[in-house]
């Protein structure tokens, strides 16, 4: 069956791990609560198969490092990225918000929250600094057979959501799609160029207030995409599976952050889980594996 899960697994198998060292052009406020990093460089040429909402890891050097380039990771025997001969850099996951291959420009939108390394690092960046990123992980695919679409994201998932909305075929965007996001993303999703589809966005005070009834109709093949905080994703994944009867192959539930844990803590926890699963024969490109690792306690 052609599905978001099977396609993402296949894309993951085919894509090489690419690392790009890019120059900072600009860091600006894009709307309340979001800052945009604009990157530029010829290494963008290596990113030859961009897809909506592609995700990558930014490699953050120590804030006082003289050389701000990070070495490219290589895959170890299990296929996981490692940095032989040097300490692993601090990593944070982000989304390609937009890409202009002709002008070799990439933008990345970062939601501001009170804590965290990412915002500290962004504040210290100046035009001309080098930023090293490594990826790309596919986060989106839409089979032609899908009849209804539900897209749910919080602030961290809003850049990916905005990128997906822009990529939707016009007919899908107007007639078969429910988009649900918190009030805190209203300005961003408007300012980020998704005005045309804004009427379809339902803004809720918080994603946990979501009323499950009336979103997915009986019988139609539905795809559900969720990108938010771990416990919220867990709850919404259950709603999709048990209230809406969505086939797990048509469900992508991504934990974009974990309340009370830094990205470094989450990566360290998940790396152990990945190593164990891969030893037991799991497929490292399977989005189901990623879902189980990040959502199952």
The residue ranges that bind ligand FAD (CB under 6 A) are 55, 92-95, 109-111, 113, 115-119, 155-156, 159-160, 256-263
Complete DSSP assignment for 80-114? -EE-TTSPPPEEEEEE--EEETTTTEEEEEEE--S
Q: Which two tokens stand for residue 83?
A: 């940095």
Q: 180: which strand partners?
A: 152, 202
153/239 with CB nearer ligand FAD: 153
Shortest distance (Å) from residue 171 CB to ligand FAD: 27
73/263 with CB nearer ligand FAD: 263
Per-state percent for the chain, helix, strand, coil, to nearest 5: 35, 30, 35
Shortest distance (Å) from residue 271 CB to ligand FAD: 14
Q: Which two tokens stand for residue 202?
A: 């339902």
216/255 with CB nearer ligand FAD: 255
Shortest distance (Å) from residue 136 CB to ligand FAD: 10
- Which 3 state secondary structure label does DSSP give 99? strand
Shortest distance (Å) from residue 256 CB to ligand FAD: 4
Cβ distance 81 to 16 under 8 Å?
Answer: no
Cβ distance 61 to 68 under 8 Å?
Answer: yes
Shortest distance (Å) from residue 156 CB to ligand FAD: 4
101/113 with CB nearer ligand FAD: 113
Shortest distance (Å) from residue 251 CB to ligand FAD: 16
Q: How far is CA 113 from CA 33, 110, 160, 202, in A?
A: 8, 9, 17, 23
Count Cα atoms within 13 angstroms, Cβ side, for 276: 9
> In the chain, which ranges are continuous DSSP H helix?
4-14, 117-124, 158-167, 170-175, 186-189, 230-238, 263-279, 287-295
44/287 with CB nearer ligand FAD: 287
- How far is 117 from 290, CA to CA, in rounded Å? 24
Shortest distance (Å) from residue 74 CB to ligand FAD: 21
Count Cα atoms within 13 angstroms, Cβ side, for 158: 32
Cβ distance 150 to 201 under 8 Å?
Answer: no
59/110 with CB nearer ligand FAD: 110
142/253 with CB nearer ligand FAD: 253
Residue number of the CB atom closest to ligand FAD: 116
248/262 with CB nearer ligand FAD: 262
Q: Which two tokens stand for residue 22?
A: 């890019």
**Which residue from 25, 39, 28 is spatially nearest to 192, judged by alpha carbons?**
28
Shortest distance (Å) from residue 220 CB to ligand FAD: 28
């Amino acid at each position: 069956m052609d599905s978001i899960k099977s396609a993402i697994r296949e894309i993951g198998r085919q894509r090489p791990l690419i690392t790009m060292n890019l120059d900072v052009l600009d860091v600006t406020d894009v709307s309340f609560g979001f800052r945009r990093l604009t990157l530029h460089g010829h290494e963008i040429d290596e990113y030859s198969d961009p897809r909506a909402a592609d995700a990558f890891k930014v490699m953050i050097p120590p804030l006082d490092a003289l050389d701000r380039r990070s070495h490219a990771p290589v895959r170890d025997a299990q296929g996981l990225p490692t940095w032989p001969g040097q300490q692993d850099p601090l990593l944070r996951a982000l989304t390609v918000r937009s890409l202009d291959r002709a002008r070799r420009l990439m933008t990345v939108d970062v939601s501001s929250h009170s804590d965290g390394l990412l915002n500290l690092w962004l504040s210290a960046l100046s035009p001309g600094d080098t930023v090293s990123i490594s990826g790309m992980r596919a986060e989106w695919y839409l089979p032609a057979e899908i009849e209804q679409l539900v897209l749910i994201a919080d602030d961290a998932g809003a850049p990916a959501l905005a990128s997906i909305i822009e990529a939707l075929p016009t007919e899908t965007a107007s007639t078969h799609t429910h988009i649900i996001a918190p009030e805190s993303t209203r300005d961003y999703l408007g300012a980020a160029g998704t005005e045309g589809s804004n009427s379809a966005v339902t803004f809720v005070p918080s994603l946990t207030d979501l009323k499950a009834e009336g979103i997915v109709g009986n019988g139609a093949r539905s795809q559900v995409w969720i990108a938010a905080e771990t416990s919220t994703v867990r709850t919404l994944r259950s709603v999709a599976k048990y209230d809406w009867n969505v086939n797990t192959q048509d469900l992508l539930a991504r934990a974009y952050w974990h309340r009370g844990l830094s990205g470094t803590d989450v990566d360290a926890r998940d790396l152990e889980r990945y190593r164990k699963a891969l030893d037991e024969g799991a497929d490292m490109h399977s989005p189901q594996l990623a879902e189980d690792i990040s959502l199952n306690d």
